[in-house]
Amino acid sequence: MTQDPYEILGVSRDASADEIKKAYRRLARQLHPDVNPDPETQERFKDVSRAYEVLSDPGKRQAYDRGGDAFSQGFGGAGQGFSFTDIMDAFFGGGAPGGGQSRGPRSRARRGQDALIRLDVTLAEAAFGVTRDLKVDTALTCETCDGEGTAPGTKPVACETCHGQGEVAVVQRSFLGEIRTLRPCAACRGFGSVIPDPCRECSGDGRVRSRRTLTVKIPAGVDHGTRVQLTGQGEVGPGGGPAGDLYVEIHVEPHKTFTRHGNDLHTTISLPMTAAALGTHLTLPLLEADLTSTAETPDEEKPVTTYDLDVRPGTQSGSEQVIRGFGVPSLRGGRGDLVVSIKVDTPTRLDPRQEELLRELAAIRGEESPDGQNEAPTRGMFGRLRDAFQG
Ligand SMILES: [Zn+2]
Ligand SMILES: [Zn+2]
């Protein structure tokens, strides 16, 4: 990490005070804790603010240029000059105003709004992740005025009504006497300044609407309704304020053959009566079969798309086989199971030879005139549901 404040702000040694301020504002907007709360970004934000503290103070800047250590004095809390909080207040407005007290002009810069867009994905894409290009209509910083809202070469001027205070005293007479309260100044909407010559590009808002394409990586394991947060990709705030977040809400299209319950996948296969009785092997297509791999995909990255399922002799209709670890990957790691329900198909049209064989089988098994037997409910899905409700 460089200790050179010029390098940290990305400005040249002979940068003007205005250039330094602009560079800082640009970085502060990107790195502001409201935008990027992760600790690494916040560290960078602190470095940037420290660099600005040095370069925006002519005395400190001179001392540094003469070979002093930029960060030797005034850092890590109590120091001369202005504090970290002062910088924040100067650019982004103070914190929550105290009750009834004078709060001074408010900043034009405010955090931008969060945005929400919906993304339709297939079940396989939700399960295994996908990268998509999204078109996002959003507000971006106006490049003509760099978010300031002023026409090039002009500046906001102090409001004449409130003399730059952003608020005006209102005196009301009541039976208690005169009550003096401070109200936000209507003339400048509390900003303390007015923009006499607004930027033409953005009409003084500091933002322009724009459609841009964003490449979004959806992690494996998202579910219907999951919101993926893209920090700082929402609307830029008015007056050059930091951007809000963009939320991508996942909508999963229903699948033809698989349904999802938590991280488990469920599917049903039908088997001829004879195969269920005799047992068989079959090739079961997995959800991975929906993933598109191209000719260029290296072999080791191609997913396994089928499972060799061993059907035991005497498999009952409605029975389930659980294939461990072939469900949906969890966002927290691991994978659910694949539950295969088996449906046994009874033959419906028998030719004379087939009927003869089946009657012979029935005779051998003594099943020519079976009694109807009342049975306990099966332990299929409904049995389990009942158990769950009855605890
Ligand atoms: Zn503008
Ligand atoms: Zn005013």
Task: Give tens-digit pLDDT for 312-355.
Answer: 999 999 999 999 999 999 988 899 999 999 999 999 999 999 99
Ligand closest in space to the Cα of 159:
2
pLDDT digits (tens, 9 = 90+) for 43-77: 888 888 888 888 888 888 888 888 766 554 433 33
- Spacing, Cα 168 to ligand 2 middle (Å): 8
The sheet carrying 227-230 orders its strands as 115-121, 246-252, 227-230
* Residue 257 CB contacts under 8 Å (≥ 6 apart), including other chains: 267, 268, 285
What does residue 265 show for φ and ψ, rounded to 5 degrees?
A: -110, 140
CA distances, 295 to each of 10, 301, 302 (Å): 45, 11, 10
Give me ligand 1 centre to Cα 105, in Å.
21
Rg (CA), the chain: 35
More confident residue, 34 or 94: 34
pLDDT above 60 (res 95): no
pLDDT reported for residue 65? 84
286 labeled part of a ligand binding site: no
**185 is known to lie in a ligand binding site:** yes
Tell me the CA–centroid distance for residue 240 and ligand 1, in Å. Answer: 10
Residue 4 has a pLDDT of: 87
pLDDT, greater one: 103 or 308: 308
CA 96 / ligand 2 centre spacing (Å): 20
Residue whose tokens read 């500091």: 206
CA of 15 to the centre of ligand 1 (A): 23
**Would the pTM count as exceeding 0.75?**
no
pLDDT (mean) for 189-193: 91
pLDDT per position as a tens digit, 110-165: 889 999 999 999 999 999 999 999 999 889 999 999 898 999 999 999 999 999 99
The Å distance, Cα 208 to ligand 1 centre, comes to: 7
Helix-helix angle 84-92:39-55, to 10 degrees? 90
pLDDT tens per residue across span 245-295: 999 999 999 999 999 999 999 999 999 999 999 999 999 999 999 987 666
Q: What tens digit of pLDDT does each residue of 344-369 get?
A: 999 999 999 999 999 999 999 998 88
The alpha carbon of 26 and the centre of ligand 1 are apart by a number of angstroms equal to 15
Distance CA 265, CA 258 (A): 6
Neighbours of ion ligand 2 (CB under 5 A): 159, 161-162, 185, 187-188
Q: Is 202 annotated as a binding residue?
A: yes
Q: How far apart are CA 164 and CA 239, in angstroms?
A: 17
Expressed in angstroms and rounded, the spacing between residue 152 Cα and the centre of ligand 1 is: 9
How many angstroms is it from 166 CA to the middle of ligand 2? 5
CA 252, CA 322: separation in Å to the nearest integer?
24
Distance of CA 53 to the CA centre of its chain: 33
142 is in an annotated binding site: yes
For residue 278, the model assigns a pLDDT of 97
Task: Say yes or no to pLDDT of 383 above 70.
Answer: no
For the CA of 200, the nearest ligand: 1
The answer, yes or no, to whether residue 387 has pLDDT greater than 90, is no
Q: Considering the chain, what is the average pLDDT of its residues?
A: 84
Model confidence at 178: pLDDT above 90? no
Q: Using a CB cutoff of 5 Å, list residues around ligand 1, an ion.
A: 142, 144-145, 199, 201-202
Asked whether residue 80 carries a pLDDT value surpassing 50, the answer given is no
pLDDT band per the 50, 70, 90 thresholds, residue 94: very low
| Percentage with pLDDT > 70 across the chain | 84
Ligand nearest to the CA of 199: 1
Whole-number Å distance, alpha carbon 94 to ligand 2 midpoint, is: 17
Percent of the chain with pLDDT over 90: 50
Of the ranges 192-196, 279-283, 386-390, which one carries the lowest mean pLDDT score? 386-390
> What's the CA-to-centroid distance between 105 and ligand 2, angstroms?
8
Q: Which of 354, 319, 117 is nearest to 227 (CA)?
A: 117
Higher pLDDT among residues 98 and 107, named by residue: 107
Q: State yes or no: 228 annotated in a binding site.
A: no
pLDDT category at 229 given cuts 50, 70, 90 is very high
